[in-house]
Amino acid sequence: MVVKEDRPAVGTVTLLTLEELTERVAMSVRNVRFYTTRGLIPPPIRRGRSGFYTADHVARLELVCELQGHGFTLSAIERYVARIPADASAEDIALHRTMLAPWMADSWDDVSRSELERHAGRRLRPSDIETLAALGVLRAGRRGRYEVSRSQLGVGLGLLDLGYPIEAARAAAEVYAAHGRAIAEELYELFRTMVWPVYKEQGVSPETIQEVVERLKPLSIASLVGAYEAGMDQTRRANIAKRAR
């Protein structure tokens, strides 16, 4: 993109035309205007009869695309974006994108019902499908197909063989979801307030910050697993002591 010398600016911030914005984010004019009406990005900055956009608009549209790529519905995207302060900088929004990347790499296979049953080695009842879904091993795909976690399917089938109650699977899923959100929010806030300002002051590139997050992921996951195992052990010991009394 060629930058003209007489391009309008706010302070030292260069402004983009609508056409330049759509080129930058690979999005249609119609979608940009639609997301503006839904409040996902602020209205353009007016200069006479023309509207212009900043790096903040670019960052927010890139975040919307990232959320869509992770399967967020429009309403879920709206709820997510609503939690971002209106005065958040482009760098702050880029941090949101970085933290969105999956924390555990897993392969999901797209399979039909017959293919799923072939993997399982038996016919699956509707209650079996529901239990696998509650366990997070399986999720509904398109046109009656399923997406199955390649690494966890065997674990889920083993629990089915042991008669694991679907009610327990659903309740556990709710526990994981509630506490997972709380942990994610606290870790994000820690990174935002204690790590991001230091790197920002040092002028660290977004690529380096993304690499830091990627390197933290396995350590964070190992710490969560360790904390879970320690907590379960302490709970078991406490219950044994309670029964002994």
- Tell me the residue type at 195: V
Query: Residue 182 has which token pair?
Result: 């709380």
Local mean pLDDT, 10-residue blocks, the chain (245 residues):
49 79 92 94 90 92 86 85 85 77 68 89 91 90 86 89 92 88 84 85 80 80 85 86 79
pLDDT, residue 98, reads: 73
- Alpha-carbon distances of 107 from 97, 213, 219, rounded to whole Å: 21, 21, 21
pLDDT, residue 3, reads: 42
The answer as to whether 239 is a domain residue is no
The answer as to whether 170 is a domain residue is no
- Tell me the residue type at 130: E
pLDDT, residue 101, reads: 65
pLDDT, residue 45, reads: 92
Q: What CATH number is given to the structural domain containing 73? A: 1.10.1660.10
What is the number of domains present in the chain? 2
Examine the fold and report which residue of 100, 118, 136 is the final residue of a domain before the chain moves on.
Answer: 100
Tell me which residue has tokens 């549209």.
Answer: 61
The answer as to whether 226 is a domain residue is no
Question: Do residues 46 and 90 share a domain?
Answer: yes
Query: CB neighbours (10 Å) of residue 169?
Result: 20
Range of the domain at 29: 9-100
The answer as to whether 157 is a domain residue is yes
Examine the fold and report which residue of 100, 130, 148 is the final residue of a domain before the chain moves on.
Answer: 100
Backbone angles phi, psi at 198, to 5 degrees: -65, -50
Cβ neighbors of 45 (< 8 A, separation 6 or more) are 10, 15, 51, 52, 53, 54
